Amino acid sequence: MKNTFLTTALVGLLATIGGCMPSAPPAENNESTTAGTTAEEATPRETVGKTTQHVLDLKTALADGGVLASTQVEANNPLSASAGAYRTTVGKLGGMSVEKTIQLRNAQSIQDPRPLDHATLMSEIIKPGKPDGIHLPMLPYYQEYAWDEPNQKVVTVDFPARQAEREKQR
């Protein structure tokens, strides 16, 4: 009985110490073997509780290999379903916050509710670096926000090359 308890305690202690050890430093090589993406772009980033003011132009994002993100939650297991639901919801909520701000802007200038181009969206709505700007929830490393000018809304764009590069890094 004593040996079992001591063995269990020792294994638990070693697991705890091992979990506290610093992890290996990230690879210094930022070269990528996937065309159009860097190793840095394929590195996962913190998302929960983080924000961004980075919004791409949709035409540019699509030209750079992006595709419109699906709004469907597709998963084979409960953990993937939860992550997919979170990711999709965050993207939608970010777009809704921009939409509401644009509606307020248009209501204030009812004589001139002109459509927004990307530069105007960034300067009047997102306002990067300013405290009264919109801070969108951070998306996973393979997704970015983009401005869909013809439809006047923020959409989420997937970059499959980033996912492919990440798989090569594993």
pLDDT tens for each residue of the chain, 170 residues long: 444 544 444 444 344 444 443 433 444 444 445 555 666 666 777 778 889 999 999 999 999 999 998 877 777 787 778 777 888 888 888 899 999 999 888 888 776 677 899 999 999 999 999 988 999 999 988 899 999 999 999 999 999 888 888 788 77
- CA separation, residue 167 to residues 10, 39, 42, 67 (Å): 36, 11, 9, 18
Total residues found in the chain within this entry: 170
Number of folded domains that form the chain: 1
Please check whether residue 48 lies inside any domain of the structure: yes
H or E element in which residue 88 lies = helix 78-108
- Name residue 42's beta-bridge partners: none
**Residue 15 maps to a domain:** no
Q: Which domain holds residue 149?
A: 38-109+117-169
Domain presence at residue 152: yes
pTM for the model stands at 0.70
